[in-house]
Chains A and B, each alone.
Chain A
Amino acid sequence: MADTKSKVKETKAKVTDQKPRIGVFVCHCGTNIAGVVDVKAIIEYAKTVPNVVHAEDYQYVCSTPGQKKITDAIKEKNLTGTVVAACSPRLHEPTFRRATKEGGLNPFRFEMANIREQGTWVHMHDPAGATEKAKDAIRIAVAKASLLEDLTPKSVAVEHAAMVVGAGIAGMQAALDLANAGIKTYLVEKLPSIGGRMSQLDKTFPTLDCSQCILTPKMVDVGRAENIELLTYHEVDAVEGFIGNFDVTLRKKANGVLSMAEAEAKGISGGGCNGCGDCEPVCPVIKPNPFEMGMKPRKAIYIYHPQVVPLLYTIDFDSCIKCGLCVTACGEKKAIDLEMKDELRKVKVGTVVLALGYDMFPVENKREWGYKQFDNVVNSLELERLICASGPTAGHLIRPSDGQTPKRVAFVLCAGSRDNTGIGKPYCSRFCCMYSLKHAHQIIEKIPGVIPYIFYMDIRSFGKMYEEFYYRIQDEGAKFIRGRVANILEDPVTKNLHVYAEDTMLNRPIDLEVDMVVLAAAVQPAADTDRTRKLFGVSCSQDGWLLEAHPKLNPCGTTTAGVFVAGVCQGPKDIPDTVAQAEGAASAASIPIHIGKVELEPYFAQCIEEKCAGCGMCVNLCPYSALSLVDKEGGGKVMQVTEAKCKGCGTCGGFCPGGAIWMQHFATPQVIAQIDAFLLGGAK
Chain B
Amino acid sequence: MAKAKGYSDPKMEEKLKDRYYYREYSNPDFTKKVHDLARTVNHMCFQCGTCTGSCPSAPRSSYRIRLFMRRNVMGLEDESLTDPDLWLCTTCYCCTDRCPRDIAPTDVIMAMRNIAYQRGIVPVNFLKTVQAIYQSGHGVPNNDVNRAVRVRLGLAKDPPTTHSYPEFLPGIRQIIDHWHVKEKADKIVAEAEKHG
Contacts and interface: CB of A to CB of B under 8 A. Distances in A.
Interface string A560-578: 0000000000000000000
Interface string A24-42: 0000000000000000000
B67 A507 contact: yes
B142 interface: no
Interface stretch (B54-62, B75-83, B156-164): B54-62
A166 B49 CA distance: 40
B54 A500 contact: yes
Given A420-B101, A500-B54, A509 B48 contact: no
A502 B54 CA distance: 8
B100 A502 contact: no
Contacts of B53: 483-487, 500-502, 509-510
B46 A457 contact: yes
Nearest to B46: A457
A504 B48 CA distance: 7
Contacts of B101: 420
B98 A486 contact: yes
A484 B50 contact: yes
Max chain A Cβ within 10 angstroms of own Cβ: one of B48, B59, B98: B48
B102 A422 contact: yes
Contact of A509 (B59, B67, B98, B100): B59
Interface string B85-114: 000000000000011111000000000000
A363 interface: no
Number of chain B interface residues as a range: 20 to 34
Nearest to A417: B100
Contacts of B46: 457
B42 interface: no
A420 B49 contact: no
A387 interface: no
B31 interface: no
Nearest to B58: A509
Contact of A504 (B49, B59, B100): B49
A501 B66 CA distance: 12
Contact of B50 (A486, A503, A510): A486
Contact of B100 (A484, A501, A507): A484
A368 B98 contact: yes
A502 B59 CA distance: 10
A500 B95 CA distance: 13
A539 B53 CA distance: 40
Interface in B32-58: 46-55, 58
Interface string A192-223: 00000000000000000000000000000000
A168 interface: no
Nearest to A504: B49
A501 B49 contact: yes
A419 interface: yes
B64 interface: yes
A414 interface: yes
Nearest to B55: A509
Nearest to B59: A509
A557 interface: no
B98 A483 contact: no
Given A483-B48, A501-B49, A502-B52, A420 B102 contact: yes
Nearest to A500: B53
Contacts of A485: 50, 53
Nearest to A418: B100
A421 B164 CA distance: 45
A502 B98 contact: no
Contacts of B49: 482-484, 486, 501-504
A424 B50 CA distance: 15
B102 A502 contact: no
Contacts of B58: 502, 509
A486 B99 CA distance: 9
A509 B52 contact: yes
A375 interface: no
A486 B59 contact: no
A487 B66 CA distance: 16
A510 B54 CA distance: 10
B67 A424 contact: no
A420 B98 contact: no
A420 B100 contact: yes
A511 B48 contact: no
B100 A414 contact: yes
B48 A484 contact: yes
A66 B132 CA distance: 81
A448 B72 CA distance: 45
Contacts of B51: 486, 502
A510 B52 CA distance: 9
Interface of B: 46-55, 58-59, 64, 66-67, 98-102
21 contacts: A368-B98, A414-B48, A418-B100, A419-B100, A420-B100, A420-B101, A457-B46, A483-B50, A484-B100, A486-B50, A486-B53, A486-B54, A487-B53, A487-B54, A487-B98, A501-B50, A502-B51, A502-B66, A504-B49, A509-B53, A509-B55
Instruction: Please give me the 3 A-B residue pairs with the lowest Cβ-Cβ distance, nearest first.
Output: A486-B53, A502-B49, A484-B48
Given A487-B98, A504-B66, 16 more contacts: A421-B99, A422-B102, A457-B46, A482-B49, A483-B50, A485-B50, A485-B53, A486-B49, A486-B51, A486-B52, A486-B54, A504-B49, A504-B52, A507-B64, A509-B58, A509-B59
